[in-house]
Amino acid sequence: MDKELNTEKLEVLVGKRVVHYHLTRAMESNRPILIILHGHGFVKSPAQFRSPNWNVVCPIDNFGVNNWGSWFLGEQGDFFWLDAMKAIIDSVREKTGRGKLFFWGSSMGGYGALLHGRLNQATAVYANVPQTWLLGSNYSEGGQIKYFEPIFGDRIENKYNDLKYLFESRSRTKYFLCFNQLERGRYFSQQGLAFVEKLDELQQPFYLEVRPIQAHGKNHGISESIGLFNKYLAAS
């Protein structure tokens, strides 16, 4: 059946910017929509995950320094991805129906998944080793500042620079988070614990997995993440 699934390369226009995304439609209408956000680096091809039961959407962030990504936020204080993601979701729903919305991302993509999952009221979000705090963090000072500063320009807004400020009240979204405890630069402490503490303060439903390893890499594949969605959403 997977051989019948065709991937379309599509685009939305936001101001003067053309934002590309790939869509692989499910076999039936009104199936859930999974938006997969890639990590930092130049990306030519979308994620390879396909499923007859999911509408798979892969936006391409080829903006920012070296076209390696703008954290699905923007450039020089123009946070055009906020409009772009809404436009992509609206376009996909016109094509596929009103399926529930899910986000998946790792590292830069994890930041984007948390940001846009919150803003677009997703059913669930999976974020693997996400950045939740950009400028001012050890991760920034360790070499990422050259990528972060051009995102904000002179417009540094707390709720986008440090995502715990974006979360002001509880919502229905469930968050699935995975961190590696021993990652250098106090990554888990700064990017994970402070954010999780805010979710807990709000009594926001979340799943947290912490692994005693040093890597900054993928822990759950997309199929495994969907298994977590199915397990814990069905139990709610």
For 43-89, write each residue's pLDDT tens digit: 888 899 999 999 999 999 999 999 999 999 999 999 999 999 999 99
State residue 2's pLDDT score. 45
163-200 pLDDT, tens digit per residue, is 999 999 999 999 999 999 999 999 999 999 999 999 99
28-50 pLDDT, tens digit per residue, is 999 999 999 999 998 888 899 99
Residue 85: count other Cβ atoms within 10 Å of its Cβ. 27
Hey, what's the torsion of the CAs at 47, 53, 55, 56, to 10 degrees?
-10
Of the pLDDT bands very low, low, confident and very high (cuts 50, 70, 90), residue 25 is: very high
Beta strands in the chain (DSSP E): 7-14, 17-24, 33-37, 55-59, 101-106, 124-128, 174-180, 206-211
Rounded Cα–Cα distance for residues 71 and 176 (Å): 19
How do strand 55-59 and strand 17-24 relate by DSSP bridges? antiparallel
131-167 pLDDT, tens digit per residue, is 999 999 999 999 999 999 999 999 999 999 999 999 9
Mean predicted lDDT score pLDDT of the chain = 95
Beta bridge partners of 59: 21
- Which pTM value belongs to this model? 0.96
Q: Using an 8 Å Cβ cutoff, are 103 and 126 in contact? A: yes
Closest CA to 126 of 108, 106, 96, 142: 106
Closest CA to 112 of 142, 91, 134, 96: 134
For residue 138, the enclosing domain spans 2-234
How do strand 33-37 and strand 101-106 relate by DSSP bridges? parallel
Beta bridge partners of 20: 11
* 164 secondary structure, DSSP code: G
Owner of token pair 């059946």? 1
Rounded Cα–Cα distance for residues 130 and 139 (Å): 11
Q: Cα angle vertex 104, ends 99, 109, to 5°? A: 135
Residue 197: count other Cβ atoms within 10 Å of its Cβ. 11
Rounded Cα–Cα distance for residues 213 and 217 (Å): 10
State residue 236's pLDDT score. 61
State residue 221's pLDDT score. 93
How many domains does the chain fold into? 1
CATH classification of the domain holding 53: 3.40.50.1820
Q: Phi first, then psi: what are they for 234, rounded to 5°?
A: -65, -30
> Could you give the percent of the chain with pLDDT greater than 70?
98
